[in-house]
Amino acid sequence: MDFNLSEEQLMIQQAARDFAQTELLPGVIERDEHSKFPTEQVKKLAELGFLGMVVSPEYGGAGLDNLSYVLALVELAKVDASAAVIMSVNNSLVCAGMEKYCNEEQKQKYLVPLAKGEVLGAFCLSEPEAGSDATSQKTTAIDKGDYYLLNGTKNWITNGSSASTYLVIAQTDIEKGHKGINAFIVEKGWAGFDIGPKEKKMGIRGSDTHSLMFNDVKVPKENRIGADGFGFQFAMQVLNGGRIGISAQALGIATGAYDLALAYSQQRKAFGKEIFKHQAIAFKLADMATQIMAAKMLCYKAATEKDAGQDITQSGAMAKLYASQTAMDVTIEAVQIHGGNGYVSEYHVERMMRDAKITQIYEGTSEIQKIVISRTLVS
């Protein structure tokens, strides 16, 4: 598989790298400390076309390939994982699913402003008693003729308060099991739709994560995505694509931490020489670089297969599983290489270690990825 990047892909990568250094880096520590949403930075991401990268220009997107999307996302995550996940959710979980499965009227009304970055979107699957298990939905959408009556709670929703458009997965017929699940487009401000307080999180503090409450929210029939009972399949397909975004975020966190650790090891001296000249540190850096390269290849492979229209169930899960473990391993070692300095915020790596953990949790925990992978091995 050829991973030689095209001139256009290299330009996109460089543009994202420049943006991360000039726009994200200056305030990243403050945003983390105060759990501040990067409002101005997200607006500039929209201006660059990064919030609808893989959406066709017909619907307001940049019309780029998934590998270009991965390259850009990695560069953002090297510096600010919170900004990266905002971009990832809007692209992978919202825009991509809407372009593939929504009808033309829905695309014109909702997808176009999302792809242009005029508004943000959120994907609402997780619940208090159902994380990534879409078959255990307690949120209900009862068919009332020309509308559905939506009731329930969604938890841990990224872009929870900053979004304007929400893709909500709900059960319409419990007797049908997963075949009775539907996906709906819900707008902020509808009667009965309330947003809970912002979650206080260990990492990715710059992104806004909230619980959403639906109390007799009237959802027009035309806001259902696909045929009746399509919601489970919609959620599974969206999550498959979303794993590529999370693997790219994890890869970016790991790469950013490694770059800082490598640079620090060449500056810091101990026992009369730079610490990278000590075998104990040199071997850590070698292991970190090797893991990152392997994660990169898995991530690029999944993105390339998606561009080719292939089934990415296995490759996406493998990329997400390995890249998220790499992010944890590398950031822990980056803190260790920094020693006491690694434990304070100004050196960035302690934040990266906290941010890395979430990549093992959202879009399905590492254990769920192993279930997905193992099923593909015998299917």
Domains of the chain: which residue ranges? 7-120, 122-231, 241-377
pLDDT at 22: 98
pLDDT in tens, 54-71: 999 999 999 999 999 999
**What DSSP string runs through 193-257?**
EEEEEEP--SS-TTS-EEEEEEEEEEEEGGGEESSTT-HHHHHHHHHHHHHHHHHHHHHHHHHHH
pLDDT at 364: 75
Answer yes or no: CATH 1.10.540.10 is held by domain 7-120. Answer: yes
Same fold, 7-120 and 122-231: no
∠ CA 378-374-243 to the nearest 5 degrees?
Answer: 125
∠ CA 283-285-291 to the nearest 5 degrees?
Answer: 105
Looking at the domain that runs over 241-377, which CATH code has it been given?
A: 1.20.140.10
24 token code pair: 């994200």
Residue 107 DSSP symbol: I
Looking at the domain that runs over 122-231, which CATH code has it been given?
A: 2.40.110.10
Cα separation, 244 vs 262, in Å, equals 27
pTM here is 0.95
Spatial CB neighbours of 50, under 8 Å, sequence gap ≥ 6: 16, 62, 72, 87, 117
Q: Which uninterrupted H or E stretch holds 125?
A: none
Supply the residues annotated as catalytic: 363
| Contact criterion met (CB below 8 Å) for 305 and 285 | no
Burial class (CB in 10 A: 0-12, 13-18, 19+), 44: middle
| Contact criterion met (CB below 8 Å) for 373 and 365 | no
pLDDT at 136: 74
pLDDT at 128: 84
For the chain, residues with pLDDT lower than 70 are: 1-2, 131-134
